Amino acid sequence: MTGNFVVAVDGSPGSERALKIAIDLAKPANVALTLVHIIEWSPFSFHTPDELAERHGRREEELDRAKEVVLGPAEAAVKAAGLNCESVVRHGHPAESVIEIAVGSGASQIFIGRKGQSKMGSLLFGSVAGSLVQVSSVPVTVVP
């Protein structure tokens, strides 16, 4: 009996395709899906005092927006296919956080789109999918 599938979603066409493939593969064995959205954040960044004071409020906004815009539609798609679904949104390093969640929930596979919504920097310095493939202890399926 396979453990759940973790799908990294960010609302991009790439992640939608990854979700579709995960659903198709999960259906026959009725595997549960864990939808994960990571808001890129590092504790080691530099800010103005203004930004620090506003941070808590903005964090709440970011979490709400993620749940509504990204996870909501994805969850609906999974439920429509008749599968069990759990959603997680977290701040942190995208690749590391996905792996942490996957390992923590005993996932048997991670699904991720090859190209996401990530910023120009990721294009230059490597994508989340690329990092995941290199560091993950859980099998990763990269969907082009």
Partner 1 sequence: MTRLFLALAVLFLTPHSAFAAGFDEMINTATAPIASAIGTFVFFKITVFGAQLPLVVLWLVIGAVFFTFRMGFVNIWGFKHAIELVRGDYANPDDAGEVSHFQALATAVSGTVGIGNIGGVAVAVTVGGPGATFWLIMAGFLGMSTKFVECTLGVKYRNENPDGSVSGGPMYYLSKGFSERGMAGFGKFIGTFYAIGIFIGALGIGNMFQSNQAYVQLNNVTGGMFDGLGWLVGLAMAAVVFAVIVGGIKSIARVTEKIVPFMAIFYCVFALIVIFMNSAAIPEAVSNVFTGAFTGEGVAGGALGALIIGFQRAVFSNEAGIGSASIAHAAVRTNEPVTEGMVSLLEPFIDTIVICTITAMVIGTTAVAYPGFAGDATGIAMTSAAFKTQISWFPIPLAIAGMLFAFSTMISWSYYGLKGWTYLFGESDKGQTIYKLIFCAFVALGCMVQLGPILDISDALVFLICVPNILGLYILAPIVKKELDTYMSKVNSGEIKKFKKA
Contacts for 63 with CB less than 8 Å, ≥ 6 apart: 39, 89
From 11-19, 86-94, 110-118, 127-135, span contacting partner 1 (CB under 8 A): 86-94
Torsion angle of C-alpha atoms 114, 39, 19, 3, degrees rounded to 10? 110
Is position 39 an interface residue for partner 1 (rule: CB under 8 A)? yes
- Does 103 sit near partner 1 (CB under 8 A)? yes
**Helix axes 72-80 and 13-29, enclosed angle (nearest 10):** 30
Among 52, 80, 120, 124, the residue binding partner 1 under the rule CB under 8 A is 52
| 56 or 80: CB nearest partner 1 | 56
The number of beta carbons lying within 10 Å of the beta carbon of residue 120 is 7
Q: Residue 113: which H helix or E strand, with range?
A: strand 109-113
- Taking the complex as a whole, the smallest distance from the CB of residue 2 to partner 1 amounts, in Å, to 22
CB closer to partner 1 out of 77 and 99: 99
Q: Contact between 91 and partner 1 (CB under 8 A)?
A: yes
